[in-house]
């Protein structure tokens, strides 16, 4: 496990107990014991009452684990952790590239096809409370990346297929999309704002209205310590470059899913070609048309987690060169 020790003051609740257990090797039961006996760590609670641990909590847990493995009693390790992180909290560190390790693809399964179908059924029936419960239960069992890739992304695919077959109306699809967009926006806000990571501007291409894939990628990037400036739908490429320069971005991320958006982007490709800011592109149609992707920038990857790894690795390389 790689722990972000340069940004311990980040106290936003990001990680579930199961995710922290997988990352740190400290059982969730032990974490609860430490919390009760020593007041460390300090997880937040989400709306459903589940614990959410911050980057600071994860760093503290790793510190205590290392001390106990060295033979230090847990009570003493907790005392040392309080001293260590009180100092670190006052001195945030050098504002350099701050990125935690990308999430492992080996997260626990949640019977993805069944769970995704159950979520779709709830959304089509307008059972939004049931859909919220299903997502909350999934977040308690697996990490956010798992929820995105095993639950939300398959559900979007099922919704699209059912709409294409005429089994649901546009109204059904719109309500389901609105619900999922609200959930993803909440996850994006919960991921917090790193003060020291690289800045990436994320936007949908011109005439592109489908934001959900871009939102998922933005969530993963923020959880990796990237400062994501989320712009949203239907953004002219020239305006996007101007904005990226105004916020001092280290990269631009463009999502394109439809043929109409791809054609509009290709007509504007000169606005992003030859820039000194790296441009990453992704989306359903570019996954199938890699040559078109190359005309606009660097293809990031087929899904949110892999695309996040590509972008993070590129930014780390860029940081080393500078």
Secondary structure E strands in the chain: 15-16, 44-45, 51-53, 199-204, 227-232, 251-255, 279-282, 298-299
In this prediction, residue 49 carries a pLDDT of 77
Strand partners, 53: 15
Q: Closest Cα to residue 301, out of 281, 316, 278, 277? A: 281
Q: Is the dihedral of CA 70, 13, 138, 159 positive or negative?
A: negative
User: Mean pLDDT per 10-residue run, the chain (322 residues)?
Assistant: 40 79 85 86 81 86 85 82 58 32 44 80 95 88 87 93 90 96 93 82 97 96 92 97 96 96 97 92 93 94 92 77 52
In this prediction, residue 243 carries a pLDDT of 97
C-alpha–C-alpha distance, residues 26 and 20, integer Å: 8
Q: What is the dihedral of CA 288, 185, 307, 225, to 10 degrees?
A: 170
In this prediction, residue 7 carries a pLDDT of 40
- Put the strands of the sheet holding 15-16 in their side by side order: 15-16, 51-53, 44-45
Contact 204/281 with Cβ under 8 angstroms?
Answer: no
In this prediction, residue 87 carries a pLDDT of 42
Q: What is the dihedral of CA 42, 152, 297, 238, to 10 degrees?
A: -80
Q: What is the dihedral of CA 237, 238, 240, 242, to 10 degrees?
A: 170
pTM: 0.69
| Owner of token pair 């989306």 | 283
């Amino acid at each position: 496990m790689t722990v972000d020790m340069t940004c311990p003051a980040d106290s936003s609740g990001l990680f579930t107990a199961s995710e922290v257990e997988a990352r740190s090797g400290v059982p969730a039961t032990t974490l609860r014991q430490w919390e009760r006996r020593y007041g460390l760590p300090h997880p937040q609670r989400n709306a459903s009452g589940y614990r959410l641990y911050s980057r600071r909590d994860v760093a503290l847990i790793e510190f205590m684990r290392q001390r106990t493995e060295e033979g230090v009693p847990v009570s003493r390790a907790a005392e040392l952790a309080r001293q260590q992180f009180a100092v670190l909290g006052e001195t945030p560190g050098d504002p350099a590239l701050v990125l935690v390790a990308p999430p492992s693809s080996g997260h626990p399964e949640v019977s993805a096809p069944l769970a995704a179908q159950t979520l779709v059924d709830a959304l089509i029936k307008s059972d939004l409370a049931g859909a919220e419960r299903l997502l909350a239960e999934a977040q308690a069992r697996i990490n956010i990346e798992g929820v995105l890739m095993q639950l939300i992304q398959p559900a979007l695919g099922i919704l699209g297929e059912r709409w294409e077959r005429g089994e649901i109306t546009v109204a059904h699809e719109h309500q389901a999309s609105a619900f999922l967009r609200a959930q993803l926006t909440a996850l994006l806000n919960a991921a917090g704002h790193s003060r020291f990571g690289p800045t990436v501007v994320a936007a949908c291409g011109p005439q592109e209205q489908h934001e959900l894939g871009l939102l998922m990628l933005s969530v993963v990037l923020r959880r990796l310590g990237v400062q994501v400036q989320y712009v949203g739908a239907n953004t002219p490429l020239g305006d996007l470059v101007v904005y990226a320069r105004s916020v001092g971005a280290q990269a631009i991320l463009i999502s394109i899913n439809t043929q109409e958006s791809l054609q509009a982007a290709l007509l504007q490709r000169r606005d992003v070609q030859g820039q000194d800011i790296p441009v990453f592109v992704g989306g359903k149609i570019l996954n199938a048309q890699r040559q078109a992707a190359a005309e606009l920038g660097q293809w990031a990857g087929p899904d949110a987690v892999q695309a996040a790894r590509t972008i993070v690795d590129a930014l780390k390389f860029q940081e080393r060169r500078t």
